Every structure is written in C-alpha cells, then in structure tokens.
C-alpha cells in the first residue's frame, strides 16, 4: 500500500516561553514491512540537533526552539510503501535484549484483576503464539473503544476496571497481560490508514508487540482485533506510551500549554 502522511502538532502558550527542547521519534522504522521514500520533519523556528538510532532501532532527532515564542508547530510530511507481514517485525535491527521488556512500569503494573485474567486465558493456550492471540482477543472483549473516557496517565488496571478506553489503554493492558504470562511486550506508536471495516482513521495510533520465541516480535492491535498489516505505519517503541511517545520535550517559561494535533493518512494510486 502506498501512503502519504501528514502530521502536525501545534503547541500554544498563554505566555511566551523562553526555550523549547524536543526529542522526536517521528521517523518510520526500517523493516521488511515498510519502505520510506520521502520524509520531512519541520519545527517552526527550530534548529535541528544531532540524530541517532537508539538500542531499540528507533531514529531520534533533537530540536531546539529559541524564544520568546507563543506557538510552535511540528510538521511531518512523507510517503511510504507498506506491506502485510502478518504482524511479524522482520528485518528490524535492534540491540536491546527482549527480556528487558519483561519489566513493568507504573501504567502497566498488574493488579488482582489483571492477574486473574492472565491466568484464565493462559490455562487453555497451546503455545506462546496462541497465548498472545488469546490475550489480545481478551483485551478486545474486556475494553470497549470509547474516546474521551480515559486520560494520558490511565493505567492498564484502571482501564480494565472501567471496561472502556482508547488504543493506548488497549495496548497497555495487553502489555501487562503478556508480561504476567512471562512474555516480553512493548508499546508501539505509529499511524493507521483505516480501521478493519475500512473506516477512515485520521489519527496517530498505538498497539503492542509481544516477543514470541522462534518468531521474534509480533504486533497485536486489540483496539481493532487484528495484527498490524499494510494499513499500519510503525514509528517506534518503548516500555509504555511515555517512553514510545513520538514527541517529548521541555519548555522553559511559566506558561500554560494548549495542544492541537491533526493527522491525515491518504492512500495513493498504485
């Protein structure tokens, strides 16, 4: 699938900020499932700093904006070819041992309900791959997709108890269940061209990857009850949403921040 992606994030401040430093994880991953043809990142008033590929294989760029400024725009434009690899992350080079992703974080910490669900699903699984699929289906059934009912810091345990959430909550919950089942799991950020029924999906997206012995990292998207295919564009990963965030930064100045995001993923003619 040939896709054109535009992504703009606008930061507005009620008082001018003196300086802004950002770390951007906004460049598509390199693996067999996608090939980037054009990709441009622009930060209004920004100076591009050094870039590097981290141990997880993600490309990170540093940017600095010198103030005073009341508004900063981060814009991405690009074209990419994708293909279906059945969710398997083939050809992706990274240095971090998968066992690193067995450690938990505040938002993926298990409670009694998560432990009970992991045990219930694991009792009938035939192998690791079957278990990963069963866990993903369990999350899909336990948490209905409902925008606006959770927040950025909602934990997996809270989302499971609420029974509602967004893709971030689905991913965190699946990650928690996989780690309880002694399978390394991580959070993945990216884009989705459309939902499984073909409905347009103009937003950034998130899913989980689980490490399967003998197969490697495999993606699972409980929010859409599927594995990532040619509709998905992978940007980067982390132990949870905070670590995998496409944009991380620090602003200097006593000012309230307002955020606006617009993402468009368009299929191009073959």
Tens digits of pLDDT across the chain (270 residues): 999 999 999 999 999 999 999 999 999 999 999 999 999 999 999 999 999 999 999 999 999 999 899 999 999 999 999 999 999 999 999 999 999 999 999 999 999 999 999 999 999 999 999 999 999 999 999 999 999 999 999 999 999 999 999 999 999 999 999 999 999 999 999 999 975 555 655 578 999 999 999 999 999 999 999 999 999 999 999 999 999 999 999 999 888 999 999 999 999 876
Same domain flag for 261 and 210: no
Same domain, 47 and 137: no
Inter-residue contact 156 to 213 (CB < 8 Å): no
Measured between alpha carbons, how far is 107 from 39 in angstroms, rounded to an integer? Answer: 32
Q: Is the domain of 230 the same as that of 105? A: yes
The three state secondary structure string of 178-239 is HHHCCCCEEEEEEEECECCCCCECCCEEEEEEEEECCCEEEEEECCCCECCCCCEEEEEEEC
Residues 67 and 186 in one domain: no
What's the CA gap between 158 and 106, in Å, rounded? Answer: 12
Q: Distance between CA 187 and CA 170 in Å, rounded?
A: 10
- Looking at the DSSP assignment, which residues form a beta bridge with residue 191? 204, 233
Angle among Cα 102, 106, 112 to the nearest 5 degrees reads: 80
30-87 per-position pLDDT tens digit: 999 999 999 999 999 999 999 999 999 999 999 999 989 999 999 999 999 999 999 9
User: How many domains in the chain?
Assistant: 2
Q: Same domain for 21 and 7?
A: yes
Q: Which CATH number do you get for residue 153?
A: 3.10.620.30
Domain that includes residue 96, residue range: 85-238
Tens of pLDDT, residues 101-114: 999 999 999 999 99
Residues 32 and 93 in one domain: no
Q: Are residues 169 and 253 in the same domain?
A: no
What distance in Å separates the CA atoms of residue 127 and residue 140, rounded to the nearest whole number?
A: 20
Same-domain pairing of 187 and 101: yes
């Amino acid at each position: 699938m040939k896709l054109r992606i535009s992504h703009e994030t606008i930061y507005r401040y009620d008082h001018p900020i003196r300086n802004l430093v950002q770390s951007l994880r906004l460049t598509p991953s390199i693996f067999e499932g996608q090939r980037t043809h054009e990709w441009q990142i622009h930060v209004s008033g920004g100076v591009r700093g050094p870039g590097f590929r981290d141990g997880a294989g993600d490309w990170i760029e540093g940017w600095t904006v010198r103030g005073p400024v009341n508004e900063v725009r981060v814009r991405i434009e690009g074209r990419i070819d994708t293909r279906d690899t059945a969710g398997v992350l083939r050809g992706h080079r990274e240095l971090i041992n998968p066992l690193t992703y067995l450690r938990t974080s505040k938002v993926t910490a298990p409670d009694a309900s998560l432990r009970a669900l992991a045990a219930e699903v694991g009792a009938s699984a035939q192998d690791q791959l079957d278990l990963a699929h069963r866990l993903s289906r369990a999350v899909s059934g336990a948490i209905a997709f409902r925008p606006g009912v959770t927040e950025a810091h909602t934990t997996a345990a809270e989302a499971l108890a609420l029974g509602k959430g967004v893709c971030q909550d689905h991913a965190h919950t699946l990650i928690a269940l996989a780690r309880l089942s002694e399978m390394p799991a991580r959070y993945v950020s990216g884009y989705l061209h459309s939902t499984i029924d073909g409905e347009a999906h103009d937003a950034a997206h998130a899913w989980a990857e689980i490490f399967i012995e003998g197969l490697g990292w495999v993606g699972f998207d409980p929010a859409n009850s599927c594995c990532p295919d040619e509709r998905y564009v992978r940007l980067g990963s982390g132990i949870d949403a905070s670590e995998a965030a496409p944009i991380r930064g620090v602003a200097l100045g006593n000012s309230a921040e307002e955020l606006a995001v617009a993402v468009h993923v368009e299929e191009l003619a073959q």
